[in-house]
Amino acid sequence: MNALQQWMEKYLVPVAAKIGSQKHLVALRDSFVGMLPATMVGAMATLVSVLIGTVPSAVQQLVEGPTKAAAAAAAGNAWTLAKTPVFEQLAGISGLVSQGTLTIIGLIFAFSWGYNLSRAYKVNELAGGIVSVAALIAGLPNILGVATAGLSEKAMTTVNNNIAAQGIATWKMALSVGQLDAGAYFAVMIMGAVAVIIYAKLMLADITIKMPDSVPPAVSKAFLAIIPTIVSVYVVAVIYYFIKVWTGNDLIYLIGKYIAEPFQALSQSLVSVLIVTFFVSLFWFFGIHGTNVLGPVLDGIWGPFGLSNLAVYNKVGLAGIKDLAAKGATDKVHAIDGNYVTLWVRGSWDAYAWFGGTAGTITLIIAILMFSKRQDYKTVAKLSVGPGIFNINEPVMFGMPLVLNSLFFIPLLLAPMVSVTIAYLATAANLVSPVVLPVPWVTPPFLNAFMATGFDWRAVIVTMVTFAASFAIWFPFVIASNSMEEEV
């Protein structure tokens, strides 16, 4: 064990430390964190809309029975709050909130990515965010151009006449808003990075327009960014243009098809999920914040799936999610009417495995309070209960410590992997709905899973099982630590 620990300290820890401090990855992690307010308010709006539409029908099923409720729904007599004063307005307002957040979350991410990447290079952050947004918008498909491609001159005249009848002289361009949701993440990460790095390098090379000292600072900063912005946006536009000419496809489509989709397909295997879970815990063993180090992977690959599930949940509700999962609509190939749910998303770890923090350490705290005879462990456990309920485990990680504690190395790695396996298999077997709502990571265990699955009561049962499994893995090592009390 000591030899393995020494080997990892020599070869693995330095690599993890470099990854954790690599400025591009840090900027990417901070970009996802910076989007949290928009994500949360969008999730809240979705939740309000769904509850207004589904809670009355659920109550009607309980009161009248499924058969009568289904008949009432078919006859248009289902109970609903959607047309009730106050609730009708609330649903409409929530729809606008969702439109302003989740519908364009890719655009929000573009600005956050450009802002944080520019900050990493220590150049004008605001201009960097604008450059990244421009890099995304420049590559969006022209949906009217696509729709009318190949039409004859006569047909095009008809199209223009119809649009003119709506008060528009002629059609020019309509961007694909569908590319501004979470599906834009990979395109933003690649093309946004290209544009912002070019912009930052030119700024650092001082290829700028300098204004006299008498000019207000805000104006001076804006002029400094003009040349770098022109060059960076033109470079990505040239890339977009010639790839479209050479391939006949928009670059954003190609990035999604040949980069994003393969990564996302691989991410849905249990092996991939377990590998990420393993390394998060392993980094924590060496005192490195594993969730932060692997944040770009967790949020960049599994994050969009969570937002995709949220969008479907907004359309079909929990009953629709259950139906899609039961029919195996878990990928684009098996989608039903364009809707599909993803089995494992970013929030799945928080719901089923990282209760009390990484490695399910709230179960360790309970095991210590129940079985430990060591006063030092009990003292730390008592101090860690409060934070642990809200998934903050630094007190137990560094207080016992678990960091570099060879006795607890095995459960630190094994407990979350077992929990993840149970939850993954339960979701794949349709014993519980997939996670569909982003929930703040500080939400206590059980409540987290219940809310994250759109209030599926089965999620509480699954969490109980994973909780018990984690506890069963931790407590033998707690008992074993009792015999070490005299040696300490």
Q: Is the pLDDT of residue 171 over 50?
A: no
Does one domain contain both 396 and 455?
Answer: yes
Which among 195, 230, 259 is the end of a domain? 259
pLDDT at 9 over 70: no
Residue 47 is predicted with a pLDDT of 76
Mean pLDDT, range 404-433, rounded to an integer: 92
Give the mean model confidence (pLDDT) for residues 434-442: 89
- State the pLDDT confidence band at 49, using cuts at 50, 70 and 90: confident
Shared domain check, 41 and 21? no
Determine the pLDDT at residue 63.
46
* 3-class secondary structure, 211: coil
Tens-digit pLDDT profile for residues 255-286: 888 887 887 788 889 999 999 999 999 888 88
Look at the chain and report how many structural domains it folds into.
3
pLDDT at 420: 96
Phi, psi of 484, rounded to the nearest 5 degrees: -90, 0
**pLDDT score for 462:** 96
pLDDT of residue 466: 96
Q: Is residue 161 part of a domain?
A: no
Q: Is residue 158 part of a domain?
A: no
pLDDT, tens digit (0-9, with 9 covering 90-100), for 58-87: 444 444 455 554 454 445 555 566 667 777
In a domain, 322, yes or no: yes
Asked whether 113 and 131 are in contact (CB, 8 A), the reply is no
Residue 284, domain member (yes or no): yes
Same domain, residue pair 235 and 200: yes
In a domain, 32, yes or no: no
More confident residue, 148 or 46: 46
Q: Which of 45, 69, 100 lies at the terminal end of a domain, its last residue?
A: 100
pLDDT of residue 199: 95
How many Cβ atoms sit within 10 Å of the Cβ of residue 403?
16
- Residue 152 is assigned to a structural domain of this protein: no
- Is residue 377 located within the same domain as residue 237? no
What mean pLDDT is reported for the chain?
Answer: 82
Q: Distance between CA atoms of 14 and 6, rounded to whole angstroms?
A: 12
Q: Which amino acid does the sequence have at 170?
A: T
pLDDT in tens, 234-259: 999 999 999 999 998 888 888 888 88
Return d(Cα 485, Cα 488) in angstroms, integer.
Answer: 5
Q: Is residue 166 situated within a structural domain?
A: no
pLDDT over threshold 90, residue 91: no
The residue range of the domain holding 395 is 2-26+269-487
Instruction: Tell me the average pLDDT across 427-455.
Output: 91
Tokens of 233: 């946006």
Q: What is the pLDDT of residue 36?
A: 83
What integer pLDDT is reported at residue 61 of this predicted model?
47
406 and 335, same structural domain? yes
């000292």: which residue's tokens?
Answer: 213
Q: What is the mean pLDDT of residues 431-456?
A: 91
Q: Residue 362: which of 405, 401, 403, 393 has the closest Cα?
A: 393
The confidence score (pLDDT) of residue 148 equals 47
Residues 414, 455 share a domain: yes
For the cut 90, the answer to whether the pLDDT of residue 18 exceeds it is no
Angle, CA 329 vertex, CA 326 and CA 330 arms, to 5°: 105
Same domain, 274 and 336: yes
What's the pLDDT score for residue 461?
96
On the question of pLDDT at 452 being above 70, the answer is yes
pTM score, whole prediction: 0.78
Q: Characterise 446 by phi-psi region: left (phi > 0), alpha (psi -120 to 50), beta (else).
A: left
Out of 21-30, 154-163, 290-299, 304-313, pick the least confident.
154-163
**Contact 138/212 with Cβ under 8 angstroms?**
no
Residue 153: inside a domain: no
325 and 461 inside one domain: yes
DSSP annotation of 191 reads I
**Same domain, yes or no: 238 and 381:** no
Tens digits of per-residue pLDDT, 118-140? 999 999 999 999 999 999 999 88
Token code pair at residue 109: 């991410």
String of DSSP letters for 57-105: HHHHHHHH-HHHHHHHHHTT----STTSTTHHHHHHHHHHHHHHTGGGH
228 and 135 housed in the same domain: yes
Of the residues 259, 287, 312, which one is the last residue of a structural domain?
A: 259
Note whether 318 and 407 are same-domain residues: yes
Q: Does one domain contain both 207 and 280?
A: no
Chain segment 336-365, per-residue pLDDT in tens: 888 889 999 999 999 999 998 888 999 999
Q: What is the pLDDT of residues 203-243, one digit of tens each?
A: 999 898 888 877 788 888 888 889 999 999 999 999 999 99
Look at residue 487 and tell me whether its pLDDT is greater than 80. Answer: no
